[in-house]
Structure 1
Amino acid sequence: MQIPAIDLTAYEYTLPPEKIAKFPLAKRDSSKLLHYKDGQISHLDFGQIPDLLPADTLLVYNDTKVIPARLIFQRETGARIEIFLLQPIAPTTMIPEIMLAKHPVIWETMIGNAKKWKDGEVLKGLVPFQDTTITLQARLIDREARQVEFFWDSTEVAFVDVVEASGEVPLPPYLNRKPVEEDKSRYQTVYSEKEGAVAAPTAGLHFTPEIFGQLKSKGIIQAQVTLHVSAGTFQPIKAKEVTEHPMHSEQIHVNRETIERISSHLGKVVTVGTTSVRTLESLYWYGVKLLEGKGEDLKIEKLFPYEERKSLPTARESYKAILALMDAKSLETIMGTTEIFIFPGYEFKVVKGLITNFHQPGSTLILLIATILGEDWKRVYGEALANDYRFLSYGDSSLLWIA
């Protein structure tokens, strides 16, 4: 398909600062819920979500777990150096593996106050862990690439344990506040499981065990995927041509059972959050890649879906190709990366409904919402503002159906 021209100013709106939810509500499922279907908007409570999903729905959520990715060190001079973990470099680029490493690791990072950190200088910090204290050290090994090596003085402790014990919750920059104790649990879904995200899949923050119990009672089937959310989710679009915006590569992990469930519930798939949308749609394009003979690596470039093609397989055919590869290679899980960029002009192949929060103006996420709603996105967001909905990560929710 031909890539459409995108005028970013058409996807801006005025978001008053007081509409941004700085803190979570006392109860996760007490948020408001805007329901959009067939052009109709209704205002409900999130606790009503089980009533809005047909009994044969497959609900897919992202089980990534946020790590306290903001590490604080002090130089001997007293200067504060802040290191924000972005992507693992060595000894592996795979997040599940590097989090379990018990030896030095290297990460691509963002560094606050980097000018005061000398090349090769080792920063040290004491980390209370269980009944002992671990010394965590950091060395800047490549300033231009912002690569930092971390090492610690215990071969019994994994990197994930060190980070959990020493790091700060990586709250979104637009909250403009320091994390508090409550954020450790509330900036995390109740079903978070696989460590590696540096931002929460916030649509899932509204779910509770009680809500899941109601969904199960109704016969709604559930499945999980893993997309480790990167800090790129907060990166504003600055490129003159929107399609030149650099989409950060994010790791995805999906097991056979989930792929089989999706394949058998096509037309009935509802995702929790934009990260789940991007994962399921990326899987479709991975199947296309396999059918086109373009390699077996699960790596979806941001504009791969927009390449000119004479025809496309159905979602079932695409997912069948993935399962055939897994059978041939005796794989129970597929792992890879995606940069997929979903903007108006894209046609959804798998997802029929989306549960999501309200997003920043002029962002990649508002472009995704506009892809679902068309011009109605302005009406939906106008209604949310007029009805005092809370916006962004700790804000209220919506259920949007794709026509």
Structure 2
Amino acid sequence: MQLSAYTKEFQTNLTIAFPVMMGQLGHVLVGLVDNIMIGRLGAAPLAAVSLGNSLVFIALSLGIGFSFAITPLIAEADGSGNIEQGRSYFHHGIILCGVNGILLFLLLLLAKPILNYMDQPPEVVALAIPYLEIVAFSMIPLMIFQAYKQFADGLSQTKYAMYATLIANVVNVIFNFLLIYGVWIFPRLELQGAAIGTLISRFFMLWFIWEILRRKKKFKSYFIWSKKELFKSAIFKRILALGFPTALQMLFEVAIFAGTVLLAGTLGTNPQAANQIALNLASMTFMIAVGLGVTATIRVGNQKGLKNYKNLRRVALSTFLLVFVIEAVFAVGFILLKDILPIMYIDNAEVIALAAQLLIIAALFQLSDGLQVVILGALRGLQDVKIPTIICFIAYWIIGFPVSIYFGSADNMGSMGIWMGLLAGLTASAVMLYFRFNYLSRKLIVEQP
């Protein structure tokens, strides 16, 4: 098949993906704003945010990963024109995501004592615990927001979540400024102020998306609630069957990144602060790939509903090619700007130098990271989640993390060695997941009557 058969899909892919990219970048920008503002307070507060968020990101991966199950189900129902089925998935998804948010909040509170046993600098742990307590509560509005977001994404209406997230970021910036530094009548709360700003912005985000979706004509039929529809065990089971493995996929990846935070913490406060800077920058480019991953889920799910498997494969491959090109551009940017980007965060020569080294590896691994997240999105559109979950576990924890532990010790490669493990794990994931998609898509074409 000619290259133009794939490149002609780029515009459609980007039209769907752009609002998702901006919305996902909005989540990361919350962290970026927190990091930049807190970085002005010193290395220890910045490292404390990194440590506290290492647990939050694990919970976040479980919750967001679980909510991803809603999108392919809605997309398939939309592709086959079944509004009633789509409405049922939407309502059950909101209930499950709400319960999930409460459970994750409680889980984070119970996990607080773990920070005392992670061989982290004591001054960092003391600052991280109050920050974690407040951010943990924001999991409840965030998970319910995710249910609305994934529902709208499944209908290819990706712009509304973007609006909610970007406006919520403005709210976050305002309250961060007021509460971190104690401006006007507001008290100076430093890290706790950043956490409260995040909490307020996430409640605002939920209110905004609920308000805007319920008023739009396209969504009105989905907002008709019926008591008899609320508790259908078969629907709950189907969402759980897709959501639980998807949550594990995200958990395995986010946990290995959280593991790098803990490993960097054993090297000292400055290496941990540098690790946080490099992770935050890499996560922003990763969110571009997440947007294309959602696009792959939506478009593959639609084609699955239509039973057009040849087009399904072509559309999916076009998203793989597009993400590789985009991430390659960012890779060049990271290498060229490696000594400049860390200056945005902190005025500490050692931290800046360490972060610059890590950005060289980040430039390389984001190629693999981008590919693997988009291929996972395509497999999710096929509703294939169990085997990809096993692949993710092997890639990250059997291949990647042992490399990080071995090369990441102080007497070996240090921070650079930790990130070599990330590169190995993400590359292994991308290769194995591609083979899985290639096998399933070809099989569907061959077996189609």
Q: By the TM > 0.5 criterion, same fold?
A: no
Q: In proportion to residue count, which structure has more helix? A: 2
TM score, norm. by length of structure 1? 0.28
Q: In proportion to residue count, which structure has more strand? A: 1
